[in-house]
Structure 1
Amino acid sequence: MVLNLRQASHKFLSLIPCLASSEDAQVVDHDWLGDLVDVPVSSRVRVLTGFLLRELKDYWHVALLISTILHPIDIKDEPSQLGKRRDLFNTVENSIIKLGLEKVWDIKQLINGKDVMNALQLKGGPLVKESLDKAMAWQLAYPSGTAEDASNG
C-alpha cells in the first residue's frame, strides 16, 4: 500500500492544477491511464480523478495530503507555506466532492463483466477488463448516462 500511495501521490500532483483551478484547466501529464481518446476533453479531469480514487478508495485523502506536501509552493515563510498547503488540500478536496467522486469506488458499473462477455462473445481475459475500463471511463464522463446509453456510446 505504501508504494501505491507514493505512485498515487504523483498522479494527484498532475491533477492538482486542474482540480484547484476555477477555470477548465486540462491535464498535461496523464500517461498513467492509457488511451482517453473517447473521453471528451472537458471530462478528462473527472475521469482521471475517478479512476485514481477508485484505485485508492478511502486512502485518497492520504494521497492528496502527500501530494499537497510535494506540490511546489513559492513561499519561503514556513507558517505561510503551511497555510497555503492547507488551503490547497481543502480546495482540491472540495473540487472532488463537487464532482461527486468522494466515494466513487462505491458506484456500481452500468455494464458488468458478464454483459461484456456476452456482447463480445468472450469467456474472459484482458479484453474484458479493457472493455470494463472503457465503460467506466464513459460512465465517469457521463455521470447521468444509463446502461443503454453506455452500450450505444
Structure 2
Amino acid sequence: MFYMDKKSKKVPVVSYIIRDSLKLKASDADTIVNIHVVSEKFAELILLLESNENLETVKEKLDDEYLEIPTDLVKRVFAGLILREIKGFWRVALFISTLVYPEVGNASDSLSKQDELDKRKERYISVERSIIDLDLDGVWKMKPLLDGKAIMGVMQVKSGGPLIGKWQQRLVKWQLAHPQGTMEECMEWMKQSEQQSKRQKIECST
C-alpha cells in the first residue's frame, strides 16, 4: 500500500507511519519496508525448498548468457541472494512469510487454528534449518573475490559503468554456487564466459 508524498512520489504507507507518525529514523523505515519486500521472496524460496515446484522458474531468473547455475545449486544461490539483501533480519522476514504464506490447495481450510499455527511453525523451523545446512547464515558478510578494478582488468575495459555492475552481480551468484572457489578460478570462469558469449554472437550474426 502506497501514498503520494508532497513531491508526488509513491511512498509505502508503513514508511510514512514509522518516519512521520512514530518519528523514528528513516533507516528504521527502510529496514521495515525491506523486510516486507523480502518476506514475499521468502514465499518463493519456501516453495522451492519444500517441493521444487518452481525450480525451473527460479533457475531461469538466475541464469544469463554468461552464467548458468547448476540445478542442484539453485536453492543455495537463490537463498543466498535473499539473505544478502536482508542480512541479519532474515529470520524476521522468514517469520512474516510463514505467517502469510498460503497453504497449497487451501488445505488449511480443514485444519483448526492451532493445527494451522503448528504447521506454520514447522515450516519456519524447516526452512531455517535448510538455510543453516546450506551454510548461508552470515552469507551477507561474504566478500567478493574480485573488486570492480579487477573485473575491469579481466574484461579489458578502461572504465566502469553498467557492464562492471552486472559482472559484480554475476560474481556474487558464482561465489554462492562455488563457496570454495578461488580468485583464479573465478577469473578463469569470467574469461571463458566472455569468450563463449562472443563466439555465440558471431555465430548468430553469420
Do these two structures clear the TM 0.5 threshold for a shared fold by scoring above it?
yes
Tell me, yes or no, if structure 1 residue 80 matches structure 2 residue 115. Answer: yes
Cα distance in 1, alignment partners of residues 129 and 53 from structure 2: 16
Which structure's relative contact order is higher, taking Cα pairs within 8 Å and 6+ residues apart?
1
Higher-Rg structure is 2
Q: For residues 127-146 of structure 1, what are the structure 2 equivalents within 5 Å?
A: 127-146=163-182
- CA deviations over 1:106-130 (Å, ceiling 9, x no partner): 1111122121122222422121111
Cα distance in 2, alignment partners of residues 113 and 98 from structure 1: 31
The Cα of 1:34 is off from its aligned counterpart by: 4.5
- CA deviations over 1:25-59 (Å, ceiling 9, x no partner): 6535439x944142112211111111110010011
Which residue of 2 is the match for residue 101 of structure 1? 136
Cα distance in 2, alignment partners of residues 103 and 35 from structure 1: 21
Which residue of 1 is the match for residue 97 of structure 2? 67
Whether the 8 Å CA contact 2:58–2:74 is kept in 1: the answer is no
- CA deviations over 1:84-136 (Å, ceiling 9, x no partner): 11110010000000001111011111122121122222422121111011111
Whether the 8 Å CA contact 1:26–1:41 is kept in 2: the answer is no
Number of positions where the alignment pairs a residue of Structure 1 with one of Structure 2: 150
Tell me, yes or no, if structure 1 residue 27 matches structure 2 residue 55. Answer: yes
Cα distance in 2, alignment partners of residues 41 and 34 from structure 1: 12
Whether the 8 Å CA contact 2:152–2:159 is kept in 1: the answer is yes
- Give structure 1 stretches of 5+ with no counterpart: none
Q: 1:114 aligns with which of 149, 152, 158?
A: 149
Which residue of 2 is the match for residue 91 of structure 1? 126
Calculate percent identity across the aligned residue pairs: 35
Q: 1:50 aligns with which of 68, 80, 94?
A: 80
- RMSD over aligned Cα atoms: 2.1
Whether the 8 Å CA contact 1:10–1:67 is kept in 2: the answer is yes
Q: What letter corresponds to residue 92 of structure 1 in structure 2?
A: V
Going from structure 1 to structure 2, the CA distance change for 1:45 and 1:122 (only over 3 Å counts) comes to farther
Q: TM-score, normalized by length of structure 2?
A: 0.66
- CA deviations over 1:53-90 (Å, ceiling 9, x no partner): 00100111111011101112323301111111111001
Q: TM-score, normalized by length of structure 1?
A: 0.87
Cα distance in 1, alignment partners of residues 71 and 56 from structure 2: 12
Going from structure 1 to structure 2, the CA distance change for 1:116 and 1:135 (only over 3 Å counts) comes to same
Q: What letter corresponds to residue 36 of structure 1 in structure 2?
A: D
Whether the 8 Å CA contact 1:19–1:96 is kept in 2: the answer is no
- Give structure 2 stretches of 5+ with no counterpart: 1-30, 190-206
SS of 1:139's partner is: helix
